[in-house]
Amino acid sequence: MIDLDDIDRKILRVLSRDGRISNLALAETVGLSPSACLRRVAALEKSGVIAGYRAVLSPDKMGIGFVAYITVGLNTHTKSAQEAFERAISRASEVRECHNITGTVEYLLRVEARDLAAYKHFHTEVLGTLPQVNAITSYVVMGSPKDDRA
């Protein structure tokens, strides 16, 4: 674990909101000189605290009108069943996130689709055909008042 001070945390908060902010603006925002700010960002990148930068995409502009979280229970609790499921899910473009979780099911998926019909196709023809899958529960997203994913 990396020891972060208050300035590092400030830098990370600003970058998580705007990864394209210029070093000059970032330095001004966090109260550092540009060279000191650049050194800190480079150190955060080198240490792996900053794992990368990405674009935040607009689902509406991309034709994504349906988002659901799905819990998936497997029929066997073996390493090979999990690996087979994870390989299949890694090929499904609708699955934007896949988390192995604790509890009564093994996985939590975030699925994005064009519309309900496209989601139904994924649910039935992709997820529903995997031999490892025993239980599927869908939670349809009706709104996202807070979403800090980048």
* Measured distance between the N- and C-terminal CA atoms of the chain, rounded to whole angstroms: 22
Is the separation of the CB atoms in 105 and 55 below 8 Å?
no
More confident residue, 94 or 2: 94
Amino acid at 120: K
Please determine, for residue 10, whether its predicted confidence score (pLDDT) is greater than 70. yes
Over residues 29-76, the pLDDT tens digits come to 999 999 999 999 999 999 999 999 998 888 899 999 999 999 999 999
CA separation for the pair 150, 144 (Å, rounded): 14
| C-alpha of 27 from chain center | 28
Residue with tokens 């988390």: 99
- Whether the Cβ atoms of residue 76 and residue 83 lie closer than 8 Å to each other: no
Check pLDDT > 70 for residue 150. no
CATH number, domain of 41, equals: 1.10.10.10
Q: 30 lies in which domain range?
A: 6-46
Give how many domains the chain has, as a whole number: 2
pLDDT for res 2 = 86
2-13 average pLDDT score: 96
Per-residue pLDDT, 66? 97
The model's pTM: 0.82
Residue 57 belongs to some domain of the structure: no
- Give the C-alpha separation, 2 to 22, whole Å: 24
In a domain, 145, yes or no: no
pLDDT (tens digit, 9 = 90+) per residue, 100-134? 999 999 999 999 999 999 999 999 999 999 999 99
Interval 75-89 mean pLDDT: 96
Q: Are residues 42 and 70 in the same domain?
A: no
User: Per the domain annotation, does 42 fall within a domain?
Assistant: yes
Nearest-angstrom CA–CA distance, 123 and 112:
11
User: Are residues 80 and 116 located together in one domain of the fold?
Assistant: yes
Tell whether 51 is covered by a domain.
no
Same domain, 132 and 87: yes
Q: Verify that 84 and 131 share a domain, yes or no.
A: yes
Q: How far apart are CA 48 and CA 44, in angstroms?
A: 6
Per-residue pLDDT, averaged over 66-95, amounts to 97
**Residue 42 sits in the same domain as residue 74:** no
Dist. CA 113–CA 122, nearest whole Å: 8
pLDDT, residue 148, reads 82
* Coil/strand/helix, residue 43: helix
User: Given this model, what pLDDT does residue 21 score?
Assistant: 97
CATH number (domain holding residue 98): 3.30.70.920
